[in-house]
Structure 1
Amino acid sequence: MESMVVSEQLLPLKGAYNFRDMGGLKTHDGRKVKKGLIFRSADLTGLTAEDIRYLKTFDFRLIYDYRDKAEADQRPDPQIGRERHERVAVNGEDKATAHSEWEPETFYKTFTREKFTQVYEQMPIRNASYRRMMSLVAQPEKNMPFVHHCAGGRDRTGVGAMLILTTLGVPFETIMDDYMLSNLTLVDYHKELFEEASQYLTGRALKQFEEDFSLHEEFLEASMDSIIAAYGTFDHYLTMEFRITSDVRERIKNFCLE
């Protein structure tokens, strides 16, 4: 079942990991997210000329990047067609919610599942990147089809996908299944990461890192729990964080659902 879902959502690209169409997911009211509107991905720097030709057919309006400047400068996104590119760092340019994230030795040696869960708790609250992204989602007729992505398309993008899909009325269990698919779509990406980790960790410590760094349901649950703890309901969160009122939300749904 999972492999069938993966092959249905995953785009056949040679140069990008985890590039998926978020369409096809069912909502509480029995509708479905339209295909060809909202896409999620890892970074796009390795897209081949053939990949770009294929992606041009989607006529993207926007590519939205959650990475910080150093990441984006090192692995820049190519222009695919006529789309606009925007980048607002989820962790802040000063890595405010993931202090050691991009210094490899420190990252691998100090990584714990508990600490990473705390990063997920912090991500959706008063975050300039998600505020900007959701303001663009609130004007779907101007900004879709669009792609949102980070480095691996799993953590920062996973939280962004949760915000979009919950706004559209997709049940949390479905969102969680979609989130956990990245463990399948990122096997090669994780392998590369674990090879790098093996320069700093060995034996049991390396095995522990491989286990802890894989996606776990508790990560995304921490983000949603944090929203409910801070705002009481997701509806209230949408209004207070993003000024997405029930009327605006209905308009987004009517554009994105079928």
Structure 2
Amino acid sequence: MPELLNIHHGFNFRDLGGYQTKAGQTVRYHKLIRSGRLSALSDRDQQYLADYGLRDDVDFRSPQEQSDQPDRVPDGVTYHFEPVFATDETKASIKAEELRRQALAKDPLGGFRNMVNTYADIVTLPSAQKAYRDFFDLLLANDGDDALLFHCTAGKDRTGMGAVYLLTALGVDPITIRRDYLASNLYLGEESERMVNEARKTGAGPAMIASTRSLGGVANEYLDSAFMTIDAQYGSLENYLTSALKITPAQRRDLRAIYLQ
């Protein structure tokens, strides 16, 4: 499992390098970074990313998230705004006080249901398909030795699906891809507890605490919701990459030439 990058003022920053493909190749290091938000990066963090080789920053967040917490990136990094949703359906950016006013705060399964529905939307909404198609165009253009980083707010849902699509296109096996997806629970433990503690300070009851925990992590059921939606509408994830995201066999060969060794 990839280790976290040495970022002090951010979370869930990890290099996808080292994963093995079914054909026996390996994802190159210093080429692909997935992460949470970049809005709190210190000068030291930015220098670390510059030294790491970062050239492109792909932001999957909503316009409101982007406006409230703009990315801080090193000079020379190109910023690409590719919102998956018009608003933050994942609720990764929601404040505890705002959550208390929503119906899911009164239902212990409210957060869980929200995430299951969000993952169905993440594969069907035109905005999501456009964002991920643009993401692949940027991946194909990153054919030098530089790194591309893609992120949302927590780096688990919109970023997680981006990693699922990318690793699938590169030929990584489904078990490894799911393991990478679920690793966000390990790397977001501290941030998830912060969200729960914030909820408690507002007087949240057990139902809201349960929903907050569901919103703050990932689950097999969330990913399965996306896969079941894909299977129902496209037949398979491979068909989805071809039909919904318009990734051609030639482009997949190019991706493997760029990112595998």
Determine which of 132, 135, 143 is the counterpart of 1:133: 135
Residues in 2 aligned to 1:114 and 1:254: alpha-carbon distance in whole angstroms: 39
Find the counterpart in structure 2 of residue 119 from structure 1: 118
Find the counterpart in structure 1 of residue 228 from structure 2: 225
**Aligned length, in residue pairs:** 250
Structure 2 residue ranges without an equivalent (≥5): none
Q: Which amino acid aligns with 1:117?
A: V
Distance change in 2, residues 1:139/1:209 (3 Å) = same
Find the counterpart in structure 1 of residue 188 from structure 2: 186
Local SS of the residue matching 1:61: strand
Residues in 1 aligned to 2:158 and 2:80: alpha-carbon distance in whole angstroms: 15
> What pairs up with 1:207-226 in 2 under 5 angstroms?
207-213=209-215, 214-226=217-229
Determine which of 239, 252, 255 is the counterpart of 1:252: 255
Determine which of 233, 237, 243 is the counterpart of 1:234: 237
Find the counterpart in structure 1 of residue 23 from structure 2: 29
Q: Deviations over 1:30-49 (max 9, x none)?
A: 11111111101111111112
In 2, are the aligned partners of 1:109 and 1:200 still within 8 Å (CA)? no
TM-score, normalised on structure 2? 0.87
Residues in 2 aligned to 1:104 and 1:119: alpha-carbon distance in whole angstroms: 16
* Percent pairwise identity: 28
Q: Deviations over 1:44-84 (max 9, x none)?
A: 11111221221111222210011112211221111313111
In 2, are the aligned partners of 1:25 and 1:33 still within 8 Å (CA)? yes
Q: Deviations over 1:75-115 (max 9, x none)?
A: 111131311101122112x55x5699744334561633123
RMSD over equivalenced CA pairs, Å: 2.3
User: Which is worse superposed, 19-28 or 121-130?
Assistant: 121-130
Structure 1 residue ranges without an equivalent (≥5): none
Find the counterpart in structure 2 of residue 243 from structure 1: 246
Local SS of the residue matching 1:148: strand
Residues in 1 aligned to 2:35 and 2:20: alpha-carbon distance in whole angstroms: 20
1:105 equivalenced with 2:100 (yes/no): yes
Cα deviation for residue 119 of structure 1 reads 0.6
Residues in 1 aligned to 2:77 and 2:90: alpha-carbon distance in whole angstroms: 30
Cα deviation for residue 149 of structure 1 reads 0.5
Distance change in 2, residues 1:71/1:85 (3 Å) = same
> What pairs up with 1:86-105 in 2 under 5 angstroms?
86-92=80-86, 94=87, 102=94, 103-105=98-100
In 1, are the aligned partners of 2:38 and 2:73 still within 8 Å (CA)? no
1:19 equivalenced with 2:21 (yes/no): no
TM-score, normalised on structure 1? 0.87
Residues in 1 aligned to 2:69 and 2:232: alpha-carbon distance in whole angstroms: 36
